[in-house]
Amino acid sequence: MAEASEPTTKESDGPEPTAAPGPRRSPINPPVFIGSAAVIVGFVAWAMIFPSQAETVIFGSMAWVAEHFGWYYVLTAGIVVVFVLVVATSKVGQVKLGPDHSKPRFNLFTWAAMLFAAGIGVDLMFFGISGPATNFLTPPDVAELSDEAARMAPIWTIFHYGIPGWAMYALMGMAFGLFAYRYHLPLSIRSALAPIVGRRIHGGVGHTVEIAATIGTIFGISVSLGIGVVFLNYGLSTIFDIPQSTAVQVALMAVAVFIAILSTVSGVEKGIRRLSELNVVLAVVLMLWVVLSGQTTHMLNALVQNIGDFFSRFPSMMLNTFAYTEGAEGYPSDQWMADWTLFFWAWWIAWAPFVSLFLARISRGRTLRQFVFGVLLIPFTFILLWISIFGNGALTFFRAGEEAFLTEAVEAPESGFYTLLLQYPGATFTVSLAVITGMLFYVTSADSGALVMANMTSKPSTTDSDGPSWLRIVWAVLTGALTLAMLFIDGVYTLQAATVMVGLPLSVVVYLIMFGLWKVLRAERLNMESHDAVLPTLLSGRMPEPGDRGSWRQRLARHMEFPSAARVKTFVEEVAAPALDEVAAELQAQGADVSCSHGHAPESGIPTADLHVHFHETTEFKYQVYPVAYSPPSFAANLGTVGDVYYRVEIFSATGSRGHDIMGYTKEQIIADILDNYEHHLRFLAMSGKDGAALGDEAEVPDEWHDADVVEKKS
């Protein structure tokens, strides 16, 4: 499954509150840590003490899930794909993963490159050959070893690694991004349940969901580590004649755990991150080598046809449960679906909290539309290229009569990638490069996996803080122990079976997240519609009456001047703040629950004013006057002397600023603007009702989870 490493720079829309130097550490969350660790320790102990019983239960559970819930897994993946596409293509696709005023920290190329890197992992090397080989020798719905089997062999593998899985990442990534960066809730899965269960996210319900996510994540990472162990063991055997044995696999697992611990105690995350980025280059080199040194024209022809076949057949593949097919002799289609489709869908679900957190962090400030289409298409593009090139490269030899190669790729999937490279020139170099690439992916998975599980079992925070170092070491050791326990039973296949079993309860979390997102996005849509409905009246506070001789001069002056900090300070103190105070006093006199506070912008020291009208069990009204610094435009030099920066006095609502500047307004115009926005908010509440509110009183969070005085600002 795709690995992910943290971006080298923190996403931000502007200045953050001053923090203490050094990495921030979140305290442990006892219920989540103890609950999830106890389950994993108990499972590992049981599997090691009673391996035969564990094998019976794990494979029996997989068979039961496949027999009774195969349709459910298939339907769930289809629903997720439809859900994220509807979000992206609808009006709410304009909503940002952050405040309205936020801008992407990373440019399009850098963002795409990081999404691209997230699509690569050691398992792609493992299944890139074994998948097409299995689908050619034992296809689910056509004759084995036929032309149609060869045509569909890479398509099914591309399908399992493609859009359905990345849609699950996009779903959880939207949840992380919206609730953390737009609604200022903790960066955790429980935040997505706030619209559904309200304050109970702080108690047993929230703990249960995060325990389930942690257990799913450790099983997902264990699959990748298990695949990495056997893949690297085979590669080292090919180069150095190191035996393929349990002892070697234990040693490789110890290396992964040691590197994760070393990273924790010595702070080598940046080195691991750079090695992860190097993986992308090495993977591309391997891919180009096979294309250019093999049957280049045939591979390009196959690539083009694979693209057409995938998109033309995707809808029917998406909901195919093989209800009317028998499958290959000795390998029925229902068993094929359990081994491949159900395993991959469960694996994607297990990995989703991990990778989605990374995707959300690098996408802060982008719209939901950009995020969904970027996540669905950019990593998938590389995956399609990889599987098509390596898969069709192997199929060329399979169809030419290389039966030993085909059989080995199916029965010992860790061998397929290396055996293919041995068919091309420079095999010693390419096989060595493949081992190095696989090792880098392997240790990166172990390191980043320990980090994310430490974060998941720490107390929720609105900052991108890490769990304690000792907790990271604990999870590195537990992950290694779980991986070895499964490998001792029946190798990678046991890990696959256990993932299918664990994925079933985790799928419930997927539906809860979809429901929570639906509620907040419905509120966002109604907010947009209410804004459009009152747009004609919003001009009343911005344009004086025509009879006022100073109106056009006032409007012209606002476009010709670039106010200094001193001018803005005077304006806020003498005009804007008194206007907010006057409105607050009148609202309070009429029985509203109002608060109006004054402060100073930490980055400039200029005064601010913040008006809140609180509504019982629904979204509050916020009108905040805040100075935002800008660099003067290039044409400003022709309009007179300006400083290095000038200031706009922007209005921030609960979801940020859309750039509305009130600098130069009179007090009466500001009051009119407040009332226009207040009427807009009342219309939104009337259209949405209590159930349509994004995060109402029932979903309040502790005060320490957000900073009520400083919202994110543009710089």
Residues 362-417 pLDDT 10s: 899 999 999 999 999 999 999 999 999 999 999 999 999 999 999 999 999 999 99
Asked if 2 and 120 touch (Cβ cutoff 8 Å), the reply is yes
pLDDT over 60 at 18, yes or no: no
User: At CA 185, angle to CA 181 and CA 188, rounded to 5?
Assistant: 95
pLDDT over 90 at 108, yes or no: no
Return d(Cα 435, Cα 423) in angstroms, integer: 16
Q: What percentage of the chain carries pLDDT values higher than 70?
A: 84
pLDDT over 90 at 578, yes or no: yes
The residues near 103 (Cβ < 8 Å, ≥ 6 apart) are 13, 365, 714
Token pair listed for 414: 């860790």
Q: What is the mean pLDDT of the chain?
A: 84
Q: What are phi and psi of 132, to 5 degrees?
A: -60, -35
Asked if 367 and 96 touch (Cβ cutoff 8 Å), the reply is yes
C-alpha 577: how far from chain center:
40
Instruction: Spell out a b/e string for 466-490, using b for 16 or more CB atoms within 10 Å of the CB, else e.
Output: bbbbebbbbbbebbbbbbbbbbbbb
C-alpha 302: how far from chain center:
32
388, 463, 512, 572 from 371: Cα distances, Å: 25, 21, 21, 37
Instruction: Check residue 702 and give its pLDDT.
Output: 41
pLDDT over 50 at 6, yes or no: no
Classify 30-525 by CATH class. Answer: mainly alpha
Instruction: Check residue 252 and give its pLDDT.
Output: 92
User: Which of 89, 198, 91, 195 lies closest to 530 in space, CA to CA?
Assistant: 91
Instruction: Classify residue 13 by its DSSP letter.
Output: S
Per mean pLDDT, which range of 171-175, 309-313, 494-498, 653-657 is the poorest? Answer: 653-657
* Residue 560: strand pairing partners: none
Pairing mode, if any, of strands 593-600 and 331-332? unpaired
Instruction: Spell out a b/e string for 345-378, using b for 16 or more CB atoms within 10 Å of the CB, else e.
Output: bbbbbbbbbbbbbbbbbbbbbbbbbbbbbbbbeb
Q: Residue 304, Cβ neighbours under 10 Å: how many?
A: 11
pLDDT over 80 at 534, yes or no: no
Q: Which amino acid is at 526?
A: L
Q: What are phi and psi of 95, to 5 degrees?
A: -65, 145
Q: How many helices (H) and strands (E) does the chain have?
A: 23, 6
Token pair listed for 583: 């409105």
User: Which of 658, 689, 656 lies closest to 519 in space, CA to CA?
Assistant: 689
User: Which of 77, 13, 122, 92 lies closest to 436 in space, CA to CA?
Assistant: 122
Give the pLDDT band of residue 4 (cuts 50, 70, 90).
Answer: low
Return d(Cα 161, Cα 153) in angstroms, integer: 13
Higher pLDDT among residues 126 and 274, named by residue: 126
Return d(Cα 429, Cα 425) in angstroms, integer: 9
Instruction: Check residue 555 and give its pLDDT.
Output: 67
Mean pLDDT calculated for residue range 23-36? 82
Give the pLDDT band of residue 34 (cuts 50, 70, 90).
Answer: very high
* Residue 458: strand pairing partners: 28
pLDDT over 70 at 22, yes or no: no
Per mean pLDDT, which range of 140-154, 346-360, 611-625 is the poorest? Answer: 611-625
Q: Where are the domains of the chain?
A: 30-525, 534-705
Per mean pLDDT, which range of 46-60, 76-90, 533-547 is the poorest? Answer: 533-547
Return d(Cα 565, Cα 646) in angstroms, integer: 7
pLDDT digits (tens, 9 = 90+) for 453-502: 888 898 866 555 667 888 989 999 999 999 999 998 888 899 999 999 99
Return d(Cα 391, Cα 81) in angstroms, integer: 25
Instruction: Check residue 188 and give its pLDDT.
Output: 85
Instruction: Give the count of alpha carbons within 13 A of 475, CB side only.
Output: 32
